[in-house]
Structure 1
Amino acid sequence: MSLFYSFTDYDIIQKPTWVGFKNFTELMHDELFWKSLYNTFYYTLFSCPLGVVVGVGIALLLNLKVKGMAIYRTIFYLPSIVPFVASSILWLWLLDPQFGVINALLENLGIPGPGWLVDPQWSKPALILMGLWGVGGPMIIYLAALQDIPNDLYESADIDGATWWQKILFITIPMLTPVILFNLIMGLIGSFQYFTQAYIMTRGGPNDSTLFYALYLYNNAFSYFHMGYASAMAWILFAIVMSVTLLIFKSSARWVYYGGE
């Protein structure tokens, strides 16, 4: 039905009127459409690689044989199960430019804190920083994959005189690549649908700097009642996500290692 509605003028109340490709044509000339697409790609381009790096890094630390490690693992995992609404309200307080904890800590270090969510240049980096707080979900998957790597590989590397960095680079990372591929694809799909935090914290501001694609789609559908226009946006989003996912799958043959192959 959404595909049908994408070719109609539909406001939910009245019957849909067939308009052909008019919605898609108007989208190509809609500045906010391109702005929301840019914001979404910006967020995806930085948040996904950072999420992988931070997730793997924390998993490596939590895989060490240290007393009380179960407590540390629980602490790092807890933020990922906090509801988005609660975490958004918490981060509104943390990122407050005048009374926020982060700027207070920066001030103690002699660094002037940025405006974060009220500054168009810092609003997207602020949301990316907030996203790293919930990296516990992927981290658990990385941790499980780390514990599945055979110790024989590390023992052989020790005999050959490999350093800790060489073991990470030539054993750990290659053995983690299937899990990295999975988390990367899930992260990409999630980032292209980024909505809740932006809706609660900024409503797309300031200056549309956090008007992400899913938020603009929602506004068109349920604020402006341009349901046909929003349906067209949804199918364009589907095409983008599908294309990027297929591209990553196609490239995975060059960098993903599967044991036994």
Structure 2
Amino acid sequence: MTATGDVAAPVSDPIAGRTSPGRRPHRMQKIEHRAGFAFLTPWLIGMAALTLGPMIYSLYLAFTDYNLLSSPQWVGLGNFRAMFADDRFISSVQVTLLYVVVSVPVVLIVSMLVALLLNTGLRFIKAYRALFYLPSLLAASVAVATLWRQIFGPSGLINNLLSLVGIHAQSWIGNPSTALGVIISLNAWAFGATMIIFLAGLRQVPSELYEAASVDGAGRLRKFVSITVPWISPLIFFNVLMDTVHAFQAFTSAYVVSGGSGGPSDSTLFYTLYLYQKGFTELNMGYASAMAWLLVIVLGVFTGLFFLSARFWVHYGDR
């Protein structure tokens, strides 16, 4: 009995009584888990058969002598020793590093400048974004690389334009000093994807920050360094990482522009192109597998170091 004379309602024990509405029976949870694993089964099978399986097998081949025609013969670290005694391998590493060091900054700078221009409130902004983004969808194709080879060939568009002003140049892709620049220009032409990411970040910077900086007398360069760069630093981090990884893996443009040979004097012998030559031209699949795993290790180390450095210059919530 309560003080008012009413009988108190019985209090149900949620543990001893029925299951609460927000809690499902254990049997139902088991059924849902099984259904989830059933839907994941095709993906797990594909991952094991098409990704993990070939990776493990290629790791085994990296320590063997295998020519695709006979059984693999175990050679231990022989392939890795042979790589560092191979002049063409050393040349491919140098060409790839030069390509990465030059092309990645060029793409980042051009994409940032265009993104800043498009962020100024130009008319027909959607048309400009589509126009600049389109090359990034086509640059990795064989057709565009073939077109680039024709443009910079002996009788290509570039030489025809130069001949109008009395300059008679030789083949740009046949000259060891300019062949790599042709491929770098192709990569720089396809800056659209990086530009779109930068533009999305620039449009998220609060205008109040720029207004406050203007009151303090800050100029455009000061605003860019003190406001824009810290605010979009996560996007800069993402673009630098992705563009660098893609540059290390560049293959199509080098293969098509150089005709699969690596260019004059191996000036466009990219790492991946030499890997392809060893594996599918010379049928030295063990050597090629060793090169592939060395590239994986290098990219893993680079990515790890890059993430460690991010704590010093990438700002997320503490802007």
TM-score of the superposed pair, with normalisation by structure 2 = 0.77
Residues in 2 aligned to 1:200 and 1:219: alpha-carbon distance in whole angstroms: 13
1:196-211 alignment to 2 at 5 Å? 196-202=252-258, 203=260, 204-211=262-269
In the alignment, which residue of structure 2 is the partner of 1:229?
287
- Report the 3-state secondary structure (helix = DSSP H, G, I; strand = E; otherwise coil) of the residue aligned with 1:207: helix
Matched, 1:241 2:299: yes
Segments of structure 1 that go 5 or more residues without pairing to the other structure are: none
In the alignment, which residue of structure 2 is the partner of 1:88?
145
Residues in 2 aligned to 1:107 and 1:249: alpha-carbon distance in whole angstroms: 49
Cα gap change, 1:260 to 1:87, in 2 (>3 Å): same
In the alignment, which residue of structure 1 is the partner of 2:61?
5
Q: Which has the larger radius of gyration?
A: 2
Shift of residue 111, structure 1, vs aligned partner: 5.9
Residues in 2 aligned to 1:61 and 1:109: alpha-carbon distance in whole angstroms: 32
Residues in 2 aligned to 1:44 and 1:109: alpha-carbon distance in whole angstroms: 34
1:107-146 alignment to 2 at 5 Å? 107-108=163-164, 113=169, 115-146=171-202
Deviation per residue, 1:51-99 (Å, 9 max, x gap): 1111111111111112122211111111111152121122112212x33
Matched, 1:187 2:243: yes
Does structure 1 conserve the Cα–Cα contact (< 8 Å) formed by 2:183 and 2:257?
A: no
Cα gap change, 1:254 to 1:109, in 2 (>3 Å): farther
Aligned length: 260
Segments of structure 2 that go 5 or more residues without pairing to the other structure are: 1-56
**Greater RCO (CA < 8 Å, at least 6 residues apart):** 1
Residues in 1 aligned to 2:206 and 2:317: alpha-carbon distance in whole angstroms: 11
Shift of residue 228, structure 1, vs aligned partner: 0.6
Matched, 1:250 2:308: yes
Shift of residue 7, structure 1, vs aligned partner: 0.6
Residues in 2 aligned to 1:179 and 1:200: alpha-carbon distance in whole angstroms: 31
In the alignment, which residue of structure 1 is the partner of 2:43?
none
Deviation per residue, 1:134-174 (Å, 9 max, x gap): 00011111111111111111111122222222211211122
Deviation per residue, 1:195-229 (Å, 9 max, x gap): 11111110211111111100111111111111111
RMSD: 1.7
Does structure 1 conserve the Cα–Cα contact (< 8 Å) formed by 2:111 and 2:198?
A: yes
Does structure 2 conserve the Cα–Cα contact (< 8 Å) formed by 1:175 and 1:259?
A: no
Cα gap change, 1:99 to 1:228, in 2 (>3 Å): same
TM-score of the superposed pair, with normalisation by structure 1 = 0.94
Shift of residue 114, structure 1, vs aligned partner: 5.9
- Report the 3-state secondary structure (helix = DSSP H, G, I; strand = E; otherwise coil) of the residue aligned with 1:118: coil
Q: Percent identity?
A: 42
